[in-house]
Amino acid sequence: MSLRIVVADPWGKRRRWVEALAALIPDAQVYGIDDAGDARAGAHYGVGWNPGAPFFAANPALRAFFTTSAGVDALLGSGALPEALPVVRVEDGGMAQQMADYCLHEAIRLQRRFGDYEAQQRERIWRTLEAEPKSAWPVGVFGLGAIGSHVAQTLAAAGFPVHGYSRTPKRIDNVDCLD
């Protein structure tokens, strides 16, 4: 019996996860939740975000569930997860860089007043606006795990003063870490 992995991803990336896992584990049978018929019930491993009780009921032989979300709170608090099932959080999966890029973009957008320029453009006004230095724009990052610490480092490297908040003590260069 070959290894069976079922992917349950609500953000439309299910097919990409299936293809990537199938390429990395060629001996495994990898399929998406929508593809799972009676003949393929009983996966060994699940991958996804928070698939709900019907998913876990249809796959009682799961050995572990790999969550692709940034956190596991929604999954753990859903009541759908079998109590003894191990949960493995995909530590990053590329999300840290994407989130850092987004946060840096938004911080610069605010600091450089791009929204004000867009409003002026709609009104056909072309006036230079004074931008404050990045040092006048402190940024708070709540959670300094794999993603949050990368966001904090990226913003600090760009010149923003960064205050990071975490439940446990952390040390990150150029970030004021608080717990």
Does pLDDT of 39 surpass 50? no
Burial of 8 (0-12, 13-18, 19+ CB in 10 A): buried
Does pLDDT of 37 surpass 50? no
What contacts 32, CB < 8 A, 6 or more positions away? 6, 7, 8, 9, 14, 15, 17, 18
Does pLDDT of 1 surpass 70? no
Give the model's confidence band at 38: pLDDT under 50 very low, under 70 low, under 90 confident, else very high: very low
- Can you give the pLDDT at residue 35? 54
Render pLDDT for 124-145 as a digit per residue (tens, 0 to 9): 999 999 989 999 999 999 999 8
> In degrees, to the nearest 5, what angle opens at C-alpha 164 toward C-alphas 160 and 167?
175
Q: Which of 73, 57, 163 is nearest to 8 (CA)?
A: 57
Render pLDDT for 70-93 as a digit per residue (tens, 0 to 9): 667 778 888 888 889 999 887 766
- Map residue 139 onto helix, strand or coil: strand
